[in-house]
Amino acid sequence: MLTDSDLQALGLTVRLAATTTTILFMLGTPLAWWLARSRAWWKQPIGAVVALPLVLPPSVIGFYLLITLGPNGPVGQFTQSIGLGTLPFTFWGLVVASVFYSLPFMVQPLQTAFEAVGDRPLEVAATLRASPLDTFFSVAVPLALPGFITAGILSFAHTVGEFGVVLMIGGNIPGVSRVASVQIYDHVEALEYADAHRLAAVMLIFSFLVLLAMYVWRPGARKGA
């Protein structure tokens, strides 16, 4: 039913979303923790920067990424100087773009979850001999677990649904940057509506299942917690 290139696009999409989500967990968790706990004045500006991708159109983000990561951009100059070449039109370029683009979807649920944990459990842990790092892993993370689940699902789903940014810095290379959303766009542009329908249906069902899982899993839907 789906063509090989459709399957390749879907496989690439899943790989991109999984890689991005993994990196976001590593990056977003300490950032969210800091945003939830810090009293520094510059916490608010940092929070606003993290939220930027929520309001910026993908074309703006894609355009700036293309310039920044390109051979004349600051990041591009850096990646070239350490022998990595430039990132646009590569899988890792898409990963970098997706990490930035999906950052608020990771950080904001985590931040809310960490804030909901409050000071008291952390103080209790300190009086029970747990160091701050120990407290983080043995108290804060378990208590914020629903937030981690939400953040993971949202980041993954948002990366799957990403289109504008990928289009702008991906270069539509099969197996490298031609993800499912771009493939659908290609089908539509080429007036291959039947092909577009099939792949779009897969995406639609996937998105619905992800959101359904999230609503079922939502902390409020469970008893206690």
Partner 1 sequence: MTPIEVRFKLDWPGFALDVDLSLPASGVTALFGHSGSGKTTLLRCIAGLERAGRGRLVFRGQTWQDEKTWLPTHRRPLGYVFQEASLFPHLSVLGNLNFGRKRTSTAGRIALDQAVELLGIGHLLERKPDSLSGGERQRVGIARALAVSPEILLMDEPLAALDLKRKREILPYLERLHDELDIPVIYVSHAPDEVARLADHIVAMEGGRVVAHGPIGETLARVDLPIRLGEDAGVVLDATISAIDPTWNLARVDFAGGSLWTRDRELPIGKKVRVRVLARDVSLALDDPGRSSIQNVHPAIIETIAPDDHPANHLVRVRLGDSRLLARLTRRSADQLGIAAGQPVYIQIKSVALME
Partner 2 sequence: MKRLSTLIVALLAAAGVHAAEVQVAVAANFTAPVQQIAGEFERKTGHKAVLAFGATGKFYAQITNGAPFEVFLAADDTTPAKLDKEGQTVLGSRFTYAVGTLVLWSSKPDFVDAKGDVLKSGKFNKLAVANPKTAPYGAAAIETLTRLKLLDAVQPKFVQGENISQTHQFVSTGNADIGFVALSQVFKDNKLNSGSAWIVPGEMHEPILQDAVILAKGKDNPAAKAFMEFLKSPYAHAVIKSYGYALR
Using CA atoms, how far residue 127 sits from 121, 132, 141, in Å, is 10, 11, 18
If the CB atoms of residues 38 and 59 are measured against partner 2, the closer one turns out to be 59
User: Token pair of 171, please?
Assistant: 């270069």
Stretch that binds partner 2, among 60-68, 94-102, 134-142, 214-222 (CB under 8 A): 60-68
173 lines the binding site for partner 2 (CB under 8 A): yes
If the CB atoms of residues 25 and 89 are measured against partner 2, the closer one turns out to be 89
220 lines the binding site for partner 1 (CB under 8 A): no
- CA angle 55/220/132 to nearest 5° reads 75
What does the CA dihedral 18, 21, 27, 31 come to, rounded to 10 degrees?
Answer: -170
Look at residue 81 and give the partner it binds from partner 2, partner 1, none, a contact being a CB closer than 5 to 8 Å depending on partner kind. Answer: none
What is d(CA 121, CA 144) in angstroms, rounded to the nearest whole number? 12
User: Token pair of 221, please?
Assistant: 């839907």
What is d(CA 146, CA 152) in angstroms, rounded to the nearest whole number? 10
188 lines the binding site for partner 2 (CB under 8 A): yes
Interface with partner 2 (CB under 8 A): 63, 66-67, 69-72, 85-86, 88-89, 167-169, 171-173, 182, 185-186, 188-191
Interface with partner 1 (CB under 8 A): 120-121, 123-132, 134-135, 138-139, 142-143, 145, 224-225
